[in-house]
Structure 1
Amino acid sequence: MGKLLVVMLLGMFLASESVEALDYGEALNKSILFFEGQRSGKLPTNQRVKWRAESGMSDGASANVNLIGGYYDAGDNVKFVWPMSFTTTLLSWAALEYQNEITSVKQIGYLRSTIKWGTNFILRAHTSPNMLYTQIIVVGKDQKIWTHLELFYSISSSSPGSEVAGEAAAALAAASLVFKPVDSIFSSTLLNHAKSLFEFADKYRGSYQASCPFYCSHSGYQEFYNGTNDLEKFKTDVESFVCALMPGSSSQQIKPTPGGILFIRDNSNLQYVTTATTILLHYSNTLTKAGVGSIQCGSTQFTVSQIRNFAKSQVDYILGNNPLKMSYMVGFGTKYPTQPHHRGSSLPSIQSKPEKIDCNGGFSYYSSDTPNPNVHIGAIVGGPNSSDQYSDKRTDYSHAEPTTYINAAFIGPVAAMISSSQQTYI
């Protein structure tokens, strides 16, 4: 087993050396820029993604609340507070864990702005202590219409969703730490709402599974209330997860593709890869800070360096070190997806086509076999199949659709790869 592990890790190292060195600073810059293309609401004067126009300017009006802003979660025109909160939590973790690396390439200001755009919407959606608007969507229709429609969903004391309120609390609490050194008043506002949301989640216990149309919970409610302060159990659980990922582990459960990317399921697989890589790197950092050099996975021992190298191989695969020699980040490298499953990117911008496109008219663009007219720089798509193949078809949403939570989970890992000598991007 030990010899096999050495061969596999050597292979990954040689593969990484066989391609041109990757510019992680550029990848971080574009990962953050992606979020400007996902913005909803009134755009700021310093908006860098020019094809994205103002949208959703009346969101919430029919319910007499202000739900303007936030992020469209993927290639659609809907806003979900749960994934938006998860996205914001991941972005905040990256800003806290890798502040020095992100600052070294002049991206910390952009990242804070990205976090604030999400938190501002969560604050607006939390209209009272026991009310949180969770979705703006037309159930069963948005995915069939290549334009924007809306309907509101919320959780309250009479219709709870503890998992969503809990994740929103986590997002605001994490963001409060990000802003504490630079804007103490805003940080306090975030923390106060976080406390209120957590009290709401705890006092009115109920699963979101009972009432949600999309992004429903399957285990979050049990996880929320079965959490533990037992650090030893937490350590055991994390290491079991790491062992389930590492090649050569006797308890490996997640097998990589022939090209080396972790493969969990054939539907937006890179969301699982980026979140798993986030955990690998966070835990390797934790081990280093604790002065622990390795973990034991059955009969195999993995050093911190081996864990980090495997995490690096996942980052590198996404950026182009793969059998197709293509980046799965739009605009990075010379070969990348040209037809992301994304409404705003695939439709002509209002600047180039100011006349209205009706609900059915959008499908001529959807079914077109030409590159998207708006290059959504930084968007990481769902990724290849289990054989490392990618068709680059807009209609193949399982592989071609970018999401905020893929990118959010990638920012920490790619920041971890940056050295202080990287080039600056502005």
Structure 2
Amino acid sequence: MIKAQTWTKDGLTRQHAHCTFNLTKKMNKGAWKMTINTNIPTEKIKLWVMKVVEHSADGKTFQLKSKYEYWPQTIDVQFRLTYKKGDIPLDGSCSSNVEPIEELETATAAAPATILASTNIIERHEWEKDGKMFMNGKCVLPIAETLNDFYIAITLDQETFGIKNWIGNTFSEDSNGRWYILKNKWTTHPPELQFTFKITFDSDTMPNGNCAILTGGNPEPPSTQNPTPAPTIPSEETTTANMVIVNSYQDNNKMKMQATCDLPIDTPLESFYILLFFTEDTSDLEIWIGHEEQADPDGRWFLVKNSHDASLPSISFPFHVRYSGSVEPSGICKLYSGNLEPITLKPTTPTTSTKQPTTTALPITSTQQRSSPITITTRPPTRLTTTTQRPTTITTRPPTSPTTTTQQQTTQQGTTTTTSPTTTTPEATTTKQSVASKYDYPKVLELSILFYEAQRSGKLPSNNRIPFRGDSALGDKGFSGEDLTGGWYDAGDGVKFNLPMASATTILSWGLSQWGDAYKAAGQLELMYDSIKWPLDYLEKCWIESKNLYYCQVADGNKDHAFWGRPEEMTYTRDAFAVSTSKPGSDVAGETVSAFASASIAFATKDPAYSAKLLSKARTLYTFAKTYRGKYSDSVPEANPFYTSYSGYEDELCLSAAMLYKATKEQKYLSDAEGFATTNAGWAFSWDEKIVACQLLLFQETGDQKYMTPVVNFIQDFMSGSVKHTNCGLAFRLKWGSNRYAANAAFIALMAADTPGFSKAEEYKTWAMSQIHYMLGDNNYKMSYQIGYGNNYPRKPHHRASSCPDMPAPCNNAQQYSPSDNPQILYGALVGGPDENDFYEDKRDDYIKNEVAVDYNAGFQSAAAGLLHFALEETLPEAPPSKC
């Protein structure tokens, strides 16, 4: 028996020990037997891989058998013995029905463990239950190689009363709970070990401390000496800013303050520190862009190290902090760069913080004015809310002074609801026009744009309207370090799939250029331009013209789908995947051309320079897609099975050429489009199949009947032909995202209805209305499949970010399978939809019916814009009655 750590607690001595055995053959559960003999009586034994079958009355002999099945290997059987310390030291031996490995106890005992890595506890969250205080903590420890055998040492600045964790067993602990040493249960792999734990404590402030990985020997008890209150900070101060107080609120009967510092920089920074000074005592700093390195015991200062690079023109540093007084503490933030050098800090004199109003229109600042402020009430910024539990409020108002107005009544889901009056300060002269319609199409547009903001990857703008989202995936890079940050996450995951992203951008841009009056009437025009610019800017980065290289995906779907958590906390390696001259991808490149070309039309009068830039990108990328032909999913296996290009690439080349002709009127593009076109009716309109869109564009541009006929046949198939309808009226093409296929077909029908030459335009409008109305409430559940519309909508979408509680609470697989509602409301998202029998269940783990995706919303949003356009023109037919 090899003895290791010994310690005393509650008057009893605890001895950690192990015996090592060599398993030369497979051992079934219970087949491996072992006996432990000690020279003195013991009170208790604790084991992990074995269980006690029988023991002597005096606790000197224990008969054990294995709890699990084992394959041939060398294995340590670790155990802990508890006994009353006397004059005779504990000793003992192990015997087994397998071969033991002899070890020199003196050599093992003498070998000290090596500290491989150490870090401060960076995330803490407390709560009270049954009169006890609990804290969740987290440490992120970098590792360079796979570790099979290691310890984790946790040192704390105050007494605690026990620890629970999920990756290690307690090896030893301090009698006062000032430190714990844990032995790993499982192997861990680079680049880091994320270690979360829960401790019990009894004080007014949460414990703080650090963690370390120990390898190579027996761990020694860590020092419990409190750290010096003076921080170690970089010597080069670059800028200082006052804290701007955004909000104060109560949290668990304690006051919290939300504030931010905006620190201008004149050069990008890869490594920096932010030092916060407060005029009053504070505690429990919550941050998102870095981690806490050091802190004053009274919370007068905190030193924060960045987690991500900072780009021009400034670092926006939001945070939350607790305080005990009746007035929020003021303070300053100092930005430092350079090497760490010790500096002793003195308390600073009080500073004046700028305070924002706590009940007002959330400010939106950019180079372009927005037309619709968001009204929020004073509360913790966990989600967008109004007094009517809606995320935003649009009101008809004059361009100069605040006005209180009441939105028109809208009949919905069999009831009449009236929006409460709201008072806002206008930020633009655009007003919302009232229209007569069964459902509130402006609200649909408003909410859908919010959903796309929730899908943003990269560094978010200062006017980010989604409180549960922050900067993420700032390290996305290409093969040669090309910047691939930005874009949209595909669905409820963290992958950027360019084929569906570009397809969604095409549909949204096409709808905007066709029905811009709808967005203007809804007060969403400027927000819509910003919405589509986000993926466009990313897609531009993906096209490396000088190398004939197009990045078509960032992150491996298999790796990503094994992770459940916030995008801001993704730690797996995010590889980039590309198509090239030798690995062609005409479909994904062609669809991106369509996105560029359609957006160049949408931006033509809004921003001519940006429009020209998009068109230039579209031209060169089209040449690449046309010259080097092939399916991207053949060249990039990682695209499978997520977005395999089943339909081939000719439909994307057809659409891209047709859209380029629409944008340029250059004959060569029309000739190409007609060469790629077919006269067969499309099976669907989706991220994969584009032929009906190409046919419709060609008819719009040429008036040739041969292109109109397949479009008519396509719409007819969805209206009353080969496509089955549910009993309540949804055109059901496929179970995966059933709403998506119906909404996309509705978009095509409305685009055809707005094109001269289609004789059944009124029927197309009515049918398209029936599909969108089904999704908004004309269904058997009288619910909206768009989250946030009305009062009855899905609460548990399959979506990682919105399933996570407010930071710093941990988010992991427990959230994926939790029966509770998502803590964050994913405003505007259209969930997958019902099955062919109208059955739908609001379950987070149902990724067929309840996932969301950027391509799900695109046709739905553009169809809503088309309906609003016809309503504004007063050419929208009477709404069809609900079939359920």
Scaled to the shorter chain, the TM-score interval is 0.7 to 0.9
Matching of residue 271 in structure 1 with residue 740 in structure 2: yes
Q: Which amino acid aligns with 1:271?
A: R
The answer to whether structure 1 residue 221 and structure 2 residue 679 are counterparts is no
- Residue 189 of structure 1: SS of its match in structure 2? helix
Residue number among 466, 478, 485 corresponding to 1:49 in the alignment: 466
The equivalent position to 1:134 in structure 2, one of 549, 552, 559, is 552
Question: What corresponds to 2:506 in structure 1?
Answer: 89
- 1:16–1:313 CA contact under 8 A, matched in 2: no
Alignment of 1:276-287 (within 5 A): 276-286=745-755
Distance 2:773 2:562 in 1: 35
- 1:211-360 equivalences under 5 Å are 211-212=635-636, 213-214=638-639, 215-223=643-651, 224=653, 227-228=676-677, 231-247=704-720, 252-286=721-755, 289-290=756-757, 292=758, 294=759, 303-348=760-805, 352-354=806-808, 357=810
Residue type at the aligned position of 1:354: P
- The 1:54–1:107 alpha-carbon spacing in structure 2 relative to 1, beyond 3 Å, is same
Equivalent-residue separation in structure 1 for 2:588 and 2:611 (angstroms): 21
Q: Which runs of 5 or more structure 2 residues have no equivalent in the other structure?
A: 1-410, 417-437, 655-674, 678-697, 875-884
* Conserved? CA contact 1:19–1:321, under 8 Å: no
- Alignment-mate amino acid for residue 34 of structure 1: F
Count of residues in correspondence between the two structures: 385
Contact 1:324 1:389 in 2 (8 A): no
Contact 2:775 2:785 in 1 (8 A): yes
1:389 paired to 2:839? yes
User: What CA distance in whole angstroms lies between the structure 1 residues aligned with 2:632 and 2:622?
Assistant: 15
Identity %: 36
CA contact (8 A) 2:452 2:854 kept: yes
Q: Secondary structure at the match of 2:545?
A: coil
Structure 1 position 362 matched with structure 2 position 786: no
- Residue 233 of structure 1 deviates from its aligned partner by 2.6
Helix, strand or coil for the counterpart of 1:398?
Answer: coil
**CA 1:421/1:160 → structure 2, altered by over 3 Å: closer, same or farther?**
closer
Asked whether the 8 Å contact 1:89–1:171 carries over to 2, the reply is yes
Q: CA deviation at 1:19?
A: 5.8
CA deviation profile, 1:106-125 (whole Å, cap 9, x unmatched): 11111111110010000011
Residue deviations 1:2-56, cap 9 Å, x none? xxxxxxxxxxxxx999565321111111011110000001111111111111101
Summarize deviations over 1:341-388 as a string: whole Å, max 9, x none: 00111012xxx3236x5xxx6100101000001100000000111111
Contact 1:179 1:186 in 2 (8 A): yes
Shift of 1:421: 10
SS of aligned partner of 2:848: helix
Deviations 1:233-289 (A, max 9, x none): 321211110121123xxxx10011000011111111111111111111111111xx3
Ranked by relative contact order (alpha carbons within 8 Å, sequence separation 6 or more), the top structure is: 1
Task: Note the aligned Cα RMSD (angstroms).
Answer: 2.1
Runs of 4+ in 1 over 6 A off after TM superposition: none
Distance across 2 between alignment mates of 1:155 and 1:51: 34
Q: 2:440: which partner in 1?
A: 23
- Normalised to the residue count of structure 1, the TM-score between the two structures is 0.86
Task: Give secondary structure in 2 for the equivalent of 1:135.
Answer: strand
After superposition, where does 1:36-115 map in structure 2 within 5 Å? 36-60=453-477, 63-115=480-532
Instruction: Report if the CA contact (8 A) 1:139-1:151 is conserved.
Output: no
Q: Give the whole-Å Cα distance in 2 for the aligned partners of 1:63 and 1:259.
A: 53
Highest CA radius of gyration, 1 or 2? 2
CA–CA distance in structure 2, aligned partners of residues 398 and 19 of structure 1: 30
Look up the match of 2:346. none
Checking the alignment, whether the CA contact within 8 Å between 2:796 and 2:822 is kept in structure 1 is yes
The structure carrying a bigger strand percent of its residues is: 2
Matched letter for residue 469 of structure 2: R
Q: Please say if 1:406 is aligned against 2:847.
A: no
SS at match of 1:395: coil
Aligned pair partner of 1:193 in 600, 604, 617: 617
1:162 correspondence with 2:586: yes
Residues 413, 782 of structure 2: 8 Å contact kept: no
Distance 2:517 2:814 in 1: 46
State whether residues 161 and 208 of structure 1, in contact with CA within 8 Å, keep that contact through their aligned partners in structure 2. yes
Aligned to 2:122: none
Determine if contact 2:735/2:836 at 8 Å carries over to the other structure.
Answer: yes
Give, in angstroms, the shift of residue 309 of structure 1.
Answer: 0.4
Using a 3 Å threshold, how does the CA distance of structure 1 residues 399 and 342 change in structure 2: closer, same or farther?
A: same
Instruction: Give SS of 1:246's match.
Output: helix
Structure 1: any 5+ residue segments left out of the alignment? 1-14, 295-302
Which AA in structure 2 matches 1:245?
Answer: F
User: How far apart in 2 are the matches of 1:408 and 1:315?
Assistant: 13
Say which is worse superposed, 334-343 or 406-415, in terms of deviation: 406-415
Q: Find the aligned partners of 1:202 and 1:386 in 2 and give their Cα distance.
A: 39
Instruction: Name the structure 2 match of 1:208.
Output: 632
C-alpha displacement of 1:144: 2.2
Structure number with higher helix proportion: 1
Local SS of the residue matching 1:141:
helix
